[in-house]
Structure 1
């Protein structure tokens, strides 16, 4: 089992075969700010008061505005992508399974992701394999705020051609 951080990868030419069950990465942190939440609301049209109205948010169990769940999900996907852990292996996003928002994300929270390969399936296509990674999103208090499983299609290593050697 191996684990790495951002410095371990530099957009490597990686393939499906380069991932083993247990391989993991812990990303650097990223602080969520009010501008992120406001921009996300504008981009998606999700102007629910819990996200955009501080006064309303203070009347809720959260005590103030919180980030949209899909924004937290997006940050998690982006942090793993920026880490370089997946290199250039991923061809397509296939599915997100078991997504659970476990705690609110407030403006000022700093998020990190621990992503771990939990399954690797070669399948019938010689060009692609399927990877399943569990993502755990952690805040600055080391509390898990979100978890989910990503199912990704990964490029397999091309066969080595033997040119009569």
Structure 2
């Protein structure tokens, strides 16, 4: 990786975020925010009869929490991040239940110069794991970053 990104993790470096326990409040707030009131997330009786036996968190909520955890634990340098370019290879591997504690293991898999001078494209590979170290989600996130903080 170019030394112009001083202070940013080197390619291949893995960083584990802090953890967060997914609460009923998270699920209800997400449903309110997005309008996704599917009963598997919000109806205790319905979910009890499902193959999961209880309510599960929304997949996009798990994604958002993992991205948020990475910014809170300084995996991503907010002063240098110019734009979020996208997401690739998103896989929901296991349900996240209310009461599960998740964290993200983030690896810098690529950092390359962007078309514009002084900017880099950084690819981060995410593994989201629960309290039993089971993978619940994987994805890659691509960022456009400046070589220097503004």
1:26 alignment counterpart: 16
Partner-residue secondary structure (3-state), 2:61: helix
* Alpha-carbon spacing, 1:95–1:128, altered in 2? closer, same or farther (3 Å): same
Aligned mate of 1:145, from 136, 139, 142? 136
2:70 alignment counterpart: 80
Count the aligned residue pairs. Answer: 144
Aligned mate of 1:155, from 139, 146, 150? 146
Dislocated runs of 4+, deviation >4 Å: none
Once superposed, what is the RMSD of the aligned Cα atoms?
1.4
1:161 alignment counterpart: none
Unmatched segments (≥5 aa) in structure 2:
none
Larger Rg: 1
Give distance in 2, aligned partners of 1:140 and 1:58: 22
CA contact (8 A) 1:66 1:104 kept: yes
1:104 alignment counterpart: 95
Unmatched segments (≥5 aa) in structure 1:
1-14, 159-165
TM-score under structure 1 length normalisation? 0.83
TM-score under structure 2 length normalisation? 0.91
Per-residue Cα deviation, 1:112-131 (whole angstroms, up to 9, x for no partner):
10000001110321131100
CA contact (8 A) 1:16 1:128 kept: no
1:44 and 2:71 are equivalent in the alignment: no
Give distance in 1, aligned partners of 2:119 and 2:41: 40
